[in-house]
Structure 1
Amino acid sequence: MSIVAAAISDPSRVSILCALMDGRAWTATELSAVAGIAASTASGHLSRLLSSGLVICLTQGRHRYYSLAGLHVAGLLENLMGVSMHAPSRFRSKTPSRLRYARTCFDHLAGEMAVKMYDFMMTEGWLSADGLSLTTPGKTQFQALGAVVDPHPRRRSCCPCLDWSERRFHLGGDAGHALMTLLLQKGWILRTPGYREVSVTAEGKTALWRIFGIAVE
């Protein structure tokens, strides 16, 4: 625990890890720009993160790409964000409104929109009471939408993921990934290149209202 905590303790490494939370692989040059540091400095930080098992490196030709080591690391970071935002007084988020409304949480959706979708699925009985599995009606609805869920996932089929900006749950696990993949394939949401922010298209606004009863401004 102390090794992992020490690896995360530097602000530049925090910036790098937060950038990798969008689920994509980045080069050292891209990560240095995000962290506002020199490329040589970024390389040193990435070596520290690699040695602590928080990131992995993939080589393609002359290029090296870095990504989070897995969902367990993404979950750790998301929980740390929630802890760091805790205050004894009434919570007031300083997160930009667009990012707070819809963003990626590694390979699934987060933010106010994702929380509303989760609430709808719980109310309509798509999810079990503990949020750890799709019910039979939920599986039927996912199939009707075209969201492909792995029948034998190597991780939880679904799980309630605590949203650090909303302080409520959104849908994680394989079902959460399947739902975000569907929205992207349908062109209902668009990812902002280089950021975790997600925007909703005109078609997406119509679909979200029709399926989940969510009115997107």
Structure 2
Amino acid sequence: MAALAAAMSDASRMKILCALMDGKAWTATELSVIADIAPSTTSAHLSRLLKANLVVCLAQGRHRYFRLYSSNVAALLENMMGITFQVSSPSRTKVPKELLRARTCYDHLAGEIAVKLYDSLVRNNWMDSEGKELTVQGQEKLLQLGINIDAKTRRKKCCPCLDWSERKFHVGGHLGASLLSFLKVMTGLKESLDIAKLL
């Protein structure tokens, strides 16, 4: 407990942790702006937070993003905020509106709709909470929709893929590609349609 408290005892590190309370993943550069400290200082603080298992680092291509280690860390911070101060408005990156709603990430769906779809798959127990495995129920439901992901491929059946605008996960792997193909046929990806409501 003393080691954990020591890792959280710096004001700049607390600013970083509070910024990550939005559930999204942020780059070190973005966190340095939020914490109002130099990038080199931010790297040192993130290293300390990583060592204390308060944050994790996600590599997406050549980019590195940081997010809270777990919901337990978020719950701890939330309790501390309730005692000490009110949460300020979360920072938001400026992303072109036309890319926010729906786009592709390689061969799978990305953007707001894709994140809602991922959340819906987990919430409805079609996919495990880590986004790495389909449940038996999920496999059955997908087959009912005509989506069979048992095709022979070296690719992962499903995996979480970090969305660069939402900073949350969307569905990647073979399932992600299969869902995009299915939705193109079924909806034409009309912007007005909330695909998550299909599930």
- Relative to the length of structure 1, the TM-score reads 0.49
The percent identity for this pair of structures is 40
Residues 157-205 of structure 1, C-alpha deviation per residue, up to 9 Å, x if partnerless?
000111111111100000000000001122431xxxxxxxxxx166xx2
User: 5 Å matches for 1:13-92?
Assistant: 76=61, 80=63, 90-92=90-92
Q: For residues 179 and 158 of structure 2, what CA distance do their matches in structure 1 show? A: 11
Matched residues, number: 118
On the 8 A contact 1:108/1:177 being kept in 2, the answer is yes
Q: What is the match of residue 38 of structure 2? A: none
**Aligned partners of 2:101 and 2:191 also within 8 Å:** no
Q: Secondary structure of 1:118's match? A: helix
Q: Which residue of 1 aligns with 2:44?
A: none
Structure 1 residue 125 corresponds to structure 2 residue 112 = no
Matches within 5 A, 1:1-217: 76=61, 80=63, 90-189=90-189, 200=190, 205=193, 208=195, 210-212=197-199
Deviations 1:20-42 (A, max 9, x none): xxxxxxxxxxxxxxxxxxxxxxx
Asked if the contact 1:147–1:181 (Cα under 8 Å) also holds between the matched residues in 2, the reply is no
Find the aligned partners of 1:136 and 1:116 in 2 and give their Cα distance: 21
TM-score, normalization: structure 2? Answer: 0.53
1:105 CA drift (Å): 0.1
> RMSD of aligned C-alpha atoms?
2.4
Q: Distance in 2 between matches of 1:99 and 1:156?
A: 26
Largest Rg, 1 or 2: 2
> What does the per-residue CA deviation read over 1:129-167, in whole Å, with 9 as the maximum and x for residues that have no partner?
321111111111111112231443211100011111111
Runs of 4+ more than 4 Å apart: none
Gaps of 5+ in 2: 1-59, 67-88
Residue ranges of structure 1 left out of the alignment (5+ in a row): 1-74, 84-88, 190-199, 213-217
| In structure 1, C-alpha distance between the alignment counterparts of 2:145 and 2:166, rounded to whole Å | 26
- 1: CA distance between counterparts of 2:120 and 2:197? 12
